[in-house]
Structure 1
Amino acid sequence: MRQNLKSLALVLLVTVVVLNLFMFGLLSYTLNASYQRTIDQVRTNVTNLALMMDHSITGAAREIVLVVEELQYYLDRELAAGRQLPPEELRQLVRDREGWIGHIARLHISNADGLVMSAPPEYRERLGFAQLDAFHQLRENPDLEQVITQLVRSPISEDWVLVCLRRYNLPDGQFGGVVAAAVDASYFVGLLSDLDLGPHGIALIRDLDRRLVARHPPLDAPPGQTGAIGGSRELTALMDAGVATGLFYSQGTADGIPRTDAFRRLEQLPVVVVAGLGEADYMAIWRHDRNKAMGLGLLFFLVTTLGAQLLWRQVRTSYRANRRSRMLLQHASDGIHILDEEGRLLEASNSFFQMLGYPPLGNTLRKVEQWDALHTAEELRTLITGAVRYNRTNTFETRFRHRGGHDFPVELTSVPLEIDGQPLVFNAARDITERKKVEEDLRIAARAFESQVGMLITDADLRILRCNEAFSRITGYQLQDIVGRKPNLLQSGRHGKSFYEAMWHALNTQGSWQGEIWNKRKNGEVYPQLLSIGTVRNEAGETTHYVASLSDISARKATEEQMRTLAFYDSLTKLPNRRLFLERLEHAYAAVQRLHTFGALLVVDLDNFKTLNDTEGHTAGDLLLEQVANRLVACVPHQEAVARLGGDEFVVLLDNLSADQVEAARQAEKVAQDALAALGRPYQLDQAEYRGSASIGITLFGSGESQSAAEVLRNAHLAMSQAKISGSSGWCFFDTSMPEQVRERSEIDAGLRIALEQDQFVLHYQPQVDDDGRILGAEALVRWLHPQQGMISPGRFVPIAEQNGLILPLGNWVLWAACRQLAHWADDPRLAHLTLAVNVSANQLAQADFVDRVLAALTETGAPAKRLKLELTESALAQEIESVIDKMNQLKEHGVSFSLDDFGTGYSSLNYLNRLPLDQLKIDQSFVQGMLQDTNSAEIAQMIVLLAERMGLSVLAEGVETPDQQVALQKRGCHQFQGYLFGRPMPAEEFERMLLGRD
């Protein structure tokens, strides 16, 4: 045994060493991988920061260049026209353009000698650009249009600036001067200050001569001053190598902080940008993880060492315990005996032999079947084999055979164990003869009294004599707590004197009473109870005892209440549901009719709730609904006034309003306004903040009107739908025209399908003309020729078609009808030059087979593709721009042209606009109609014309209604027009007569 202990000690030592080596290896690998991830992440971060700086600075540069080009274009045009621009006009011109980019740069216009002509007279002779090399380059090189300087002292203000100079020419082509935009270095400081660089990060801009343009955070030292020449060795090496981008690690910086930096050379400006993150910042987390790993390794070492020590102590203790066990075996009170798998007796305690009537020594007991009187030999072997095989402890009752011939009951506990590799069964037998007798007596005595029902017995004076366990379990009172006391200690105080008088009357007259009662437990809890009381009388008819049986019916009551809640209340918000709400609406309607007052019903529907569910999940949606319910309850006089009909729809029922209809409407409006304000406040959904809104429909009811509750609810729904159409976060009162509007909308929805089947649509054509009024083409506009209602404008049916999906077959019909008309014009030499513009919806453009549909229409009708112009809106380009560009390029290859309709009214990315294969921009009619009164509209129209000229596109203004509008557009360079001034949309025959009549 001692040799086994030594071997076990060696195994424990080797195990501890191997585990600790593995743990330290795993921690080292993890820390190294974490370090590499940290380095990769910081490189990605500084690269993104440098890219953000590039985009920000390049965007500003593009704005400057666009304005400078516009000024140069204006000067060239005016000088070519023979105009001499006085200084005051130049100053006004500069002030107007500085309104666009004044936050970025200062604009100046100089003459051929470099003097600033746009400056006030007292400064004009002293200010100029003649000392700049860039000025001389532009003057001496006619082919050079624009130069952007590196960081220089401003010839105007002596500040450090970057100057963009652009040449403009005299009418004879000679150098006339420059248009200059000077950007202060301080502007770039503002751009850099918005970057999140951490405590030790840096962002700086240097020109190609390594002069410092801007730095954040600022450095209070000569190297940190604007214009200072410097830079780390790594940055200098990258700039000298001429690379465009790069990453480097710098230690020898001006502030002595080691960093990982990203470098980018800008294309638009002669500068480089550098973004760096401090090593102390991005390595802090890794160093913290390293310290934790070292602590974890040390802790693991201590735990394994301590565990080995504890295990070793346990083994030694077990060794000592084994020795003691053998001694205790012989002195145990139970009959302890150990059997092998065959049921042979290996060892037993003295008490075992005494139990069976045998002496401890010299007995003849060898196998279990000699003393077990209940089981056969085969059953005993099965029990022993099962205990060993399944390794389970089993306690059961059996009968042992005494040496004297009688048997007796025993309780036997069998425990499988293994000693020195041999499976054995340890048995402890206890003689339970006396216990069986006691149990039998108790069973007979308790059967009549003990049950799951609480029992209480009192004498004739109501003094408690006895209670059962069920009573103690229900009330919390044990027998010793209540013996001698009266049952009134259980009273809850919820029942009055008359209740108990009725109970005692039944007991005295009928001998029993049964009913539900509220009683109180020992801990003070009041609970519902089903109580039955009976009177026990002797042979003389005198009352000797009272016997009460009681049951706790809390669970049943809770179930009933839960069923009621599920039937009448919403499980999420705990508000009344539709069923309970309709009942309350019926009662409220009857009440206002009786009192001759008004009530109001508000239907509240959340805006964009489906979007929240789709993007954030139903958990976020449930959180929002709970908060909405709480806010609505806070806006009304009592909680029962609010209910949830389902989904994101709530109702607010206001009864007992004023008898005056106007005052009642004002009261309902006040509640709606309060509700919208409450629902418009931010919501906290887990860790995210969400802002929502709602639409509310209001209807009044009562004061003599004859309506059902369903009609009131329907009217409120109609008003809510109108509020949604009018825009989010609004409310709307029901009026009698709404059902008619709904009916009309439904008729149009159903009629559109029939109109497509029966070909009830026609195309009208609005002329598009040039400066001289010559008709260049037309725009095809769809009309619905209804057999009963006559001509229906697209404003009534196109929005409905977009909602119900019929815009796709309708748009396809328009395309084919337009192509057939083009083919007809192509056969007539007088009409063959006409182009035809067809509007294309975003839904059509999103179809995968859009290109095939257009080409099929052209091929099968024989229409010339070069005369077909597809008009797109900015909304059609808002999604899947790459797919849109690809489809446009495919059709462009076949000759189809494209026009961008309503330009300037939506969101157009200039980056995507430059890539779109457009042929024409259309100035929206809102700018055309407002340009004579609004200078902003006129300026926007001017910029659209200039942009189109730069991109090589034609420009067409729509909505032209007066000659003054046409003249204003011509002055700004627009020479194609469409509008009522030249003709309304008309049938094809009328359009052709108009065209041929002009010819």
Structure 2
Amino acid sequence: MRHNLKSITFMLLVTVLALNLFMVTLLTYTLHASYKRKIAEVRTNVANIALMMEQSITGTAREVDLVLQEIQYFLNRELAERGTVRRSEMDELIKARQGWVSHVARIRVSDATGAVRFAPNGPPSQLSYADAEIFHQLRSGAQVGLAISPLIRSPLTGEWILLFARRYDNADGSFAGVVAASVRASHFASLVSELDLGSKGIALVRDLDMRLVARHPPLDAPPGRTGSVGGSAELTALLNSGEPSGIFFSEGTADGVPRTNAFRRLSEPPVMLVAGLGEDDYLAIWRHDRNKAAGLGLLFFLVTTLGSVLMWRQIRASHRANRRSHLLLQHASDGIHILDSRGRLLDASDAFYRMLGYPAGGHACPSLAPWDVMHPGDQFRALVASCLRHKRVTTYESVFRHRDGGEFPVEVSVVPLEIDGKPQLFCAARDITTRKKVEEDLRIAARAFESQVGMMITDADLHILRCNEAFTRITGYAMEDIVGRHPNILQSGRHDEKFYRAMWQAIRTDGSWQGEIWNKRKNGEIYPQLLSIGSVRDEKGETTHYVASLSDISSRKADEEQMRTLAFYDSLTKLPNRRLFLERLDQAHAAAQRLQTFGALLVVDLDDFKTLNDTEGHAAGDLLLAKVAQRLVDCVPQNEAVARLGGDEFVILLDNLGPHEVEAARRAEQVARGAMATLGKPYRLGRSDYRGSAGIGIALFGPGNMPSAQEVLRNAHLAVSQAKNTGSNSLCFFDTRMPAQVRERSDIEAGLRIALEQDQLVLHYQPQVDRDGHIIGAEALIRWCHPQQGMISPGRFIPLAEANGLILPIGNWVLETACQQLARWAEVPALAHLTLSVNVSANQLSQPDFVERVLEVLQRTGAPAQKLKLELTESALVHEIEEIIRKMSVLKEHGVCFSLDDFGTGYSSLNYLSRLPLDQLKIDQSFVQGMLQDTNSAEIAHLIMLLAERMGLVVLAEGVETEEQRAALLERGCQQFQGYLFGRPMTVEQLEGELQA
């Protein structure tokens, strides 16, 4: 019967669900089809409305253009025939044509300077089109027809207008002026106001810069004002796609109304039209139908559900009557069992067997006796005998043994009975495992009350009843000090009434509250505390007590503060680190936008800090950084404005510098100058003094179209890099051209790698001549033949190559190519005497295998070593001079010659100079080109020649461009020359042609 009831219930449920699912599917399909038809109809309607708007606005534009063409034709004819325009005829014509379009536009005629000469009521003296963009467009383009401006302000009335203009010319075809018509934006508003758009519809006219020309209905908000820039994200995406027209749905509108819209892009005038119908309008009927369908579906569901419930109740009522008596016995909670006088089991309830782990009915244990399950059994036998003898009700606790061997506590009530003259015992056993567990929990709770956590108990009126020893240890109050008092004696005064009101509101609502709070000890000390308060309620739900547990978290707070310091502050300088600084920069950036004021970011980069670390050690460097930090803090308006980004780089954040950019820049520069002066003073580092300097880059940020906070920091870094490039102790403001320069450097750097792979590098050769002008050799000069940019000079890419390490493969390529050329010359008798100079960078010279590489190239190419001249600069000799002398000596033994380039411009030790195995000194071109005007340059050049003569070195003068310079050098004893006077850098074919000429 029970199985049949379940089956019938399941079938009823399935039938009801199937019927309702069918009804829902049918209604959903019908509503969806209706919705699709409505959307298609609306899209057609908005497209037609947008087309009507286009026809209306283009008709206005054609009407205005016809008037402009007539006046243009009249002016061109008059100027061609008479060379001038008679004012009376012109005024009459303008007045007549103004009457045609008076409801649309105002007509004016300007001269070639832009000043208005003719107007319907006389030209305004102050009106000029000289600053209008379309005026310049028409003046520079004779073939331009009608020009129409975007939305602009009228210089006379200040109202928004679209300016239509055509050019007219003098008899010789030169520009004579423009014929202009200003169409008020309000005219377009009157055109679109006549459209039937419904209560939620909208019509918009925007220019192609997304400025609002007209809107219907008007919107009393900033986005609805003429000239405001805006538009939904969907409209912006369609406009950027270049589509001339389209239909889109938008929810994020200025007035918050979702609509289906159509837009069209016009060329004359250059505007964009948007017509939209509100979703609430065109879906009103459909939503009404949807609600009726939902009601119908709900009614169907209620009817089917009610019918099935009535049927199920009828079936269940008949089934319930058959099981009532059995269920009462089956669900008895106590283990009821009846014993005879010998303690044998006569009968028992199902709960008794289940308690012992046997099946209900006891079929698996027909001979079960209580002493088989009682522990201990002897005690139970004595108890049975006592109950029968004294004939009294007895309740005792014992232990039952479960079928699986486990034991559990029970409470047994025994009532002696006499049935049919035979004594029997009626027993009711109850499993008290849960009660024992509660008693154990109470003992544990009592022990926990004396734990390391401070605890306090109050009554419902907040009178303190009890506290534990941990409470006394934390607060200093003993139990006798606080019993009967109110917990507010612990208040520190740091929290206001609102805090406590919120805390007790949470306790009353949720029953508990936990959080951090500042309390006061008995001795008056204020300390942080973790407090948890819970309410104790009786069976009626009324609060009887409050229990509070508290912990002293002073040490944890100290650890958190230390962790915050480590996380947000630099351990060396105690300044905010990069992480904290970036948060403050974001806040200052947002405040500048909100307050419409300017701020500035200064990046300070110390000069030659690496040199100090290398020479004096990192301890001196750390001491310098700490002193620099203190000086920066002392010289800026706000201490928190200084931070250390890392290494020797600091930043200064200046906010609220005023609403004017020029004033903000002046104040930022004033702070930067002060910082540079302060950092330039001597530092005491240990037992020595150190004088340093710094480069400072400044980037402003403020209202308007300003960059993000990250871009401001990047701009300041670009500025400090530019400052460092100009020399030490310099400052530089960020210039918008800097990113382009950085990109150019990046492009050159990436292109260099491709140039090496694709053989885009070439060598040019500049002749070197003797006293008689005979070519005795050449200097190999690298050039980059870029496929798009053409020939690129080494001044643009060699510094980058030295910075990124590409100078090594480039230098190897130059050496290889030059040696191949020397080997070819050696095979031609007329060219075998030529020497070839190759520049060697400091990076190449510092390579451990430099000597082996040069010798390997000479051997592989077959080039004569005595014809190869390696040119070094004085800067390459600054570091590791002993190792450089060794390398030069080894190559010298194999015949390689050496020349010291740009001599006199760097720092050279004469002691090391005398030990270098040099063959030639090259006088820098700065001395050569200035020796005729500057006696100091002439004397320096002469001294270099005398020094070379004493050391047995040949002197070559660079940059010789005139005969006068050559004569002056010859007079002072110069033997060899190089410069434009004798030839510019040229290809090898051109050089060989010079030798054969």
Aligned-partner Cα distance in 1 for 2:537–2:636: 62
**CA deviation digits over 1:383-421, x for unaligned, max 9?**
xxxxxxxxxxxxxxxxxxxxxxxxxxxxxxxxxxxxxxx
Q: Summarize the Cα distance change of 1:504–1:668 in structure 2 as closer, same or farther, 3 Å threshold.
A: closer
Q: Summarize the Cα distance change of 1:543–1:750 in structure 2 as closer, same or farther, 3 Å threshold.
A: closer
Aligned-partner Cα distance in 2 for 1:687–1:480: 65
Partner of 2:774: 774
Partner of 1:871: 871
Q: Does 1:973 align with 2:973?
A: yes
Structure 1 vs Structure 2: percent identity of aligned residues?
78
Partner of 2:437: none
Partner of 2:809: 809
Partner of 1:944: 944
Partner of 1:700: 700
Aligned-partner Cα distance in 2 for 1:867–1:510: 96
**Equivalent position amino acid for 1:941 in 2:** A
Partner of 2:729: 729
Partner of 1:934: 934
Aligned-partner Cα distance in 2 for 1:560–1:768: 73
Partner of 2:494: 494
Structure-to-structure mapping, 1:755-834, within 5 angstroms: 755-834=755-834
Once superposed, what is the RMSD of the aligned Cα atoms?
Answer: 3.8
Q: Summarize the Cα distance change of 1:754–1:501 in structure 2 as closer, same or farther, 3 Å threshold.
A: closer
**Equivalent position amino acid for 1:725 in 2:** N
**Equivalent position amino acid for 1:822 in 2:** L
Q: Does 1:956 align with 2:966?
A: no
Q: Summarize the Cα distance change of 1:628–1:449 in structure 2 as closer, same or farther, 3 Å threshold.
A: same
Q: Does 1:910 align with 2:910?
A: yes
Shift of 1:534: 7.8
Partner of 1:679: 679
Aligned-partner Cα distance in 2 for 1:905–1:818: 27
Shift of 1:901: 1.8
Aligned-partner Cα distance in 1 for 2:668–2:716: 12
Q: Summarize the Cα distance change of 1:522–1:909 in structure 2 as closer, same or farther, 3 Å threshold.
A: same
Shift of 1:577: 4.0
**CA deviation digits over 1:904-946, x for unaligned, max 9?**
2222222232232322222221222222222222222222222
Aligned-partner Cα distance in 1 for 2:448–2:548: 14
Q: Summarize the Cα distance change of 1:593–1:970 in structure 2 as closer, same or farther, 3 Å threshold.
A: same
Partner of 1:552: 552
Aligned-partner Cα distance in 2 for 1:931–1:921: 18
Partner of 1:469: 469
Aligned-partner Cα distance in 2 for 1:863–1:551: 87
- Of 679-688 and 895-904, deviating more is 679-688
**Equivalent position amino acid for 1:715 in 2:** N
Q: Summarize the Cα distance change of 1:682–1:474 in structure 2 as closer, same or farther, 3 Å threshold.
A: farther
Aligned-partner Cα distance in 2 for 1:538–1:894: 107
Shift of 1:468: 3.3
Aligned-partner Cα distance in 2 for 1:513–1:990: 93
Structure-to-structure mapping, 1:147-296, within 5 angstroms: none
Aligned-partner Cα distance in 1 for 2:759–2:550: 82
Aligned-partner Cα distance in 2 for 1:780–1:677: 46
Aligned-partner Cα distance in 2 for 1:914–1:448: 90
Aligned-partner Cα distance in 1 for 2:445–2:863: 109
Aligned-partner Cα distance in 2 for 1:519–1:593: 41
Q: Summarize the Cα distance change of 1:557–1:961 in structure 2 as closer, same or farther, 3 Å threshold.
A: same
Q: Summarize the Cα distance change of 1:523–1:931 in structure 2 as closer, same or farther, 3 Å threshold.
A: farther
Aligned-partner Cα distance in 2 for 1:910–1:549: 83
Secondary structure at the counterpart of residue 965 of structure 2: helix
**Equivalent position amino acid for 1:748 in 2:** I
**Equivalent position amino acid for 1:823 in 2:** A
**CA deviation digits over 1:219-274, x for unaligned, max 9?**
xxxxxxxxxxxxxxxxxxxxxxxxxxxxxxxxxxxxxxxxxxxxxxxxxxxxxxxx
**CA deviation digits over 1:648-687, x for unaligned, max 9?**
4333222222222221111111222223333334445666
Q: Summarize the Cα distance change of 1:542–1:767 in structure 2 as closer, same or farther, 3 Å threshold.
A: closer
Structure-to-structure mapping, 1:76-115, within 5 angstroms: none
Partner of 1:149: none
Shift of 1:541: 14
**Equivalent position amino acid for 2:638 in 1:** H
Shift of 1:697: 2.0
Aligned-partner Cα distance in 2 for 1:483–1:655: 56
Aligned-partner Cα distance in 1 for 2:824–2:911: 39
Aligned-partner Cα distance in 2 for 1:916–1:506: 87
Secondary structure at the counterpart of residue 778 of structure 1: strand
Shift of 1:704: 0.9
**CA deviation digits over 1:147-191, x for unaligned, max 9?**
xxxxxxxxxxxxxxxxxxxxxxxxxxxxxxxxxxxxxxxxxxxxx
Aligned-partner Cα distance in 2 for 1:640–1:585: 11
Aligned-partner Cα distance in 1 for 2:532–2:851: 87
Q: Summarize the Cα distance change of 1:856–1:972 in structure 2 as closer, same or farther, 3 Å threshold.
A: same
Secondary structure at the counterpart of residue 755 of structure 1: helix
Q: Does 1:589 align with 2:589?
A: yes
Q: Summarize the Cα distance change of 1:931–1:749 in structure 2 as closer, same or farther, 3 Å threshold.
A: same
Secondary structure at the counterpart of residue 816 of structure 1: helix
Aligned-partner Cα distance in 2 for 1:834–1:567: 66
Partner of 1:438: none
Partner of 2:900: 900
Shift of 1:792: 1.0
Shift of 1:474: 0.8
Aligned-partner Cα distance in 2 for 1:833–1:673: 59
Structure-to-structure mapping, 1:495-510, within 5 angstroms: 495-497=495-497
Shift of 1:734: 1.3
Secondary structure at the counterpart of residue 764 of structure 1: strand
Shift of 1:982: 1.7
Partner of 1:984: 984
Aligned-partner Cα distance in 2 for 1:685–1:559: 34
**Equivalent position amino acid for 2:474 in 1:** I
Q: Summarize the Cα distance change of 1:843–1:499 in structure 2 as closer, same or farther, 3 Å threshold.
A: closer
- Give the number of equivalent residue pairs: 555
**CA deviation digits over 1:287-346, x for unaligned, max 9?**
xxxxxxxxxxxxxxxxxxxxxxxxxxxxxxxxxxxxxxxxxxxxxxxxxxxxxxxxxxxx
Q: Summarize the Cα distance change of 1:866–1:458 in structure 2 as closer, same or farther, 3 Å threshold.
A: closer
Partner of 2:92: none
**Equivalent position amino acid for 1:910 in 2:** L
Unaligned runs of 5+ in 1: 1-442
Q: Summarize the Cα distance change of 1:547–1:830 in structure 2 as closer, same or farther, 3 Å threshold.
A: closer
Unaligned runs of 5+ in 2: 1-442
Aligned-partner Cα distance in 2 for 1:511–1:944: 96
Shift of 1:603: 2.4
**CA deviation digits over 1:412-443, x for unaligned, max 9?**
xxxxxxxxxxxxxxxxxxxxxxxxxxxxxxx9
**CA deviation digits over 1:458-516, x for unaligned, max 9?**
89998878653212221234557667876554332223456567778999999988765
Q: Summarize the Cα distance change of 1:517–1:755 in structure 2 as closer, same or farther, 3 Å threshold.
A: closer
Partner of 2:654: 654
- Of 529-538 and 828-837, deviating more is 529-538
TM-score normalised according to structure 1 size: 0.50
Q: Summarize the Cα distance change of 1:614–1:909 in structure 2 as closer, same or farther, 3 Å threshold.
A: closer
Aligned-partner Cα distance in 1 for 2:754–2:859: 28
**Equivalent position amino acid for 2:495 in 1:** H
Secondary structure at the counterpart of residue 772 of structure 2: coil
Aligned-partner Cα distance in 2 for 1:546–1:892: 97
- Of 973-982 and 618-627, deviating more is 618-627
Q: Summarize the Cα distance change of 1:527–1:825 in structure 2 as closer, same or farther, 3 Å threshold.
A: same
**Equivalent position amino acid for 1:825 in 2:** W
**CA deviation digits over 1:820-877, x for unaligned, max 9?**
2223333333323222222222222233333333333333333333322222222233
Secondary structure at the counterpart of residue 995 of structure 1: helix
Secondary structure at the counterpart of residue 766 of structure 1: strand
Aligned-partner Cα distance in 2 for 1:952–1:795: 33
Aligned-partner Cα distance in 1 for 2:565–2:458: 40
Secondary structure at the counterpart of residue 528 of structure 1: strand
Shift of 1:638: 2.7
Partner of 2:643: 643
Shift of 1:612: 5.0
Aligned-partner Cα distance in 2 for 1:914–1:671: 49
**Equivalent position amino acid for 1:709 in 2:** A
